[in-house]
Amino acid sequence: MIIQPRFVTEPWCVRELGLNLAQLAQSESVFALSNGHIGVRGNLDEGDPSGLPGTYLNSFYERRPLPYAEAGYGYPESGQSVLNVTNGKLIRLLVDDEPLDLRYGELHHHERILDLKSGLLHRIMEWESPSGRIIRLRSTRLVSFTQRAIMAVRYEIEAVGAPTRVVLQSELVANEDLPTHSADPRAAEVLDHPLEAEEHSASSNRSLLIHRTRVSDLRMAAGMDHLIHGKDGVGANTYIQPDWARLTAGTQLKPGERLGITKFVAYGWSSQRSLPALRDQVDAALSAVLHTGWDGLVDEQRGYVDEFWDGADVDVDGDPVVQQAVRFGLFHVLQAGARAERRAIAAKGLTGSGYSGHAFWDTETFVLPVLTATAPHAAADALRWRLSTLELARERARMLRLRGAAFPWRTIRGQECSAYWPASTAGFHINADIALAAVRYVHWTGDADFDRDCALPMLVETARLWASLGYFGADESFHIDGVTGPDEYSAIVRDNAYTNLMAARNLHYAAEAAARWADEANRLDVDADEIASWERAAAAIALPYDEHRRVHQQDLGSTDREVWDFAASARDDAYPLMLYAPYFDIYRKQVAKQADLVLAMHWCGDSFTREEKARAFAYYDALTVRDSSLSACSQGVLAAEVGHLELAHDYLTEAALMDLRDLEHNSRDGVHVASLAGAWLTLVCGFGGLRDHGGHLTFAPRLPPTIHRMSFAVRWRGAKLRVVVTPQDATYSVENGHDLTLGLRHHGEAFELHRSEPVTLAIPPSTPLTGRPTQPEGRAPAKAHSTE
């Protein structure tokens, strides 16, 4: 398939020219701003029209009932849904008594620019009202990385051609009407107008609304303050009700005259703090940002983003589409985690209500590796959030009659929220995903305090889970049965290779950590016999292999099943399969929703030879339909490793453009943060060949023909390491890190890297060990236009 562009291709901006109301919701996701604490969708300033209004606070949710046709032991009783909280984005405009609504009048020009270098969203517009009055509008919006509670908008209008009477209305609105959340009337009732007013107040240009949720009993406060500028002598009035506050300012503009308003909005929420405490918190945040001022806030934002790009940017020469897309993806990854500060990173970040705002395993498997290498503080905070839910995970394990901790498949607060247990409760690999993300952070940063206080308890409790879940069989191997691996088109299987390999590493690293922190482990009731049992299980882990086909099996016996009829599915346009076929049929056939064994060969690659990877990649690529946005990047990483560089580039393109081209037709609900992280993974781990097995950095770079040069940086143990790759060689340098000496490997060759002494090494030739793999009919990866 050829994918058409919607946004102008530029290296550091995402620019939309014109306005397509049919695609408004997708643009709102693309132009969403967040800092990990506050998230605001890219709705038009005036509010109407909109695709999906949305303002979110991380982990601010409401509980709702989970419906079941039949009850069952261990089923979660309630779910959690992220809430659209008080909307502070709104600035309505009336032009000679006619509301600015782009469905009426004539739109001469409309342009939105997400500036990835400054962290600002700009809008430029010229509109003619139905009565013939013309105004120009410029607005700039930001969600502050430096002042966590603050969102701000600068909004300016100019009269064109004739005197024009204008009125600005800046609003705070709670309990906005939204599209239906759920077909379940019980859930719909809970989520309809979920905020109950507690207090409202106004003074001068400042207003405050305080609400709490009905069921989850969380309290939030939102306040706004304003500076009016442009024409002198413009007064303002403030009106307030329990769910609504509005500042109104009006005047008559001569042609060329301007009226502007700078709006600062502050948010705070808590499950424990009192109403006066929240009121004071928001009031203080507004006072602080008024002291900073708009220009100061913009300067702070640019400084924060500059620091991020200095150690995170990937410079791609030869593919401008991917260049823009990978920077767009990195920016959204930063937005998702920068100031989350011990709260979850959801699958959609804070860009939409998709997946009810839940966090899944893809946070630890796809997003945290990127943040660990580029913004390690954000990765640490996400892992500390998991630690804060450890007692809930212990309770869940006890309910499942297991030892240790069983982390939830999907959640906001830490409780299991999935009603479909074969793809959730049985997806035990999430526990190893979390544990090994903590290990990776320790390897990359050398943070001993984190290792002792955070990684150790999670490693211990997840190791206990695996020890109680698995067993030694007659073959003396350690088996784990009745689980679901990353491929959700296979469920309740024996010895899923990914799960087993990740569990083995989890057990091994738990044993190492317990030995390293003996006193702390003793306080967790770990003894020498338990450590020895973990090491024994890890060493004996079962890894199923098909001797006849000479490939590892995704799970025991998987290669013996009947192959799915891909031709029929392509003919009937029956994708994604779960919407066109019963799971019973899917589960008993050879068809993969997403990378599974291939994913294991990336993260546990030192458990396989290159020949084993090449054969397995060719075998499973022909079975993988990529009905998940998580798949393309993993297939791209392994395609690059086994020498299929052009195919890897195609998978890179798909991962990178998941939201800019709306490839799965669901970006309206929010961006796919893991797929956007996957663009970095495909470039850096695929074409850069980066691996961190055993806590050692190795590289095996090779570029596809379409990329002429690639440069990227990673943060490793306090140093910034830069790698520049050309078709002929790779140059490694350390740009800070004092007198640190790095021991690295390049295509298997060990070398040392010292500060200010770059090392350039030749890239050896490579020949793929198999022919170019095929994909299921109609499921070849997406391609961008070569002329872009």
Of these residues, 16, 488, 530, 641, which one is catalytic? 488
How many CB atoms neighbour CB 695 within 10 A? 12
Dist CA 605 CA 599 (whole Å): 9
> Which residues partner with 265 through β-bridges?
151, 224
In whole angstroms, what separates CA 532 from the centre of its chain? 37
Q: Is position 488 annotated as part of the catalytic site? A: yes
How many CB atoms neighbour CB 760 within 10 A? 13
3-class secondary structure, 445:
helix
Dist CA 624 CA 635 (whole Å): 9
What's 162's DSSP letter?
S
3-class secondary structure, 523:
helix
Q: CA quadruple 661, 666, 671, 673: dihedral positive or negative?
A: negative
Among 749, 670, 787, 630, CA closest to 335: 670
Q: What angle do CA 690, 323, 658 make, to 5 degrees?
A: 85
Dist CA 452 CA 433 (whole Å): 19
Phi, psi of 129 (to 5 degrees): -70, 165
Q: Are 611 and 581 in contact (CB under 8 A)?
A: no
Encoded amino acid at 347, one letter: A
3-class secondary structure, 295:
helix
Which residues fall within 8 angstroms of residue 589, CB to CB, at 6 or more apart? 561, 562, 563, 564
> What separation in angstroms does the CA of 696 have from each of 78, 434, 436, 678, 714?
43, 20, 14, 21, 14
Among 41, 142, 681, CA closest to 348: 41
Instruction: Collect contacts of 572-578 with beta carbons under 8 A, ≥24 apart.
Output: 575/625, 575/627, 575/778, 575/779, 576/625, 576/627, 577/489, 577/625, 577/627, 578/489, 578/627
> Which residues partner with 633 through β-bridges?
none
- Structure-derived torsion over alpha carbons of residues 108, 112, 117, 119, reported in degrees to the nearest 10: 130
Encoded amino acid at 387, one letter: L
Catalytic residues: 488
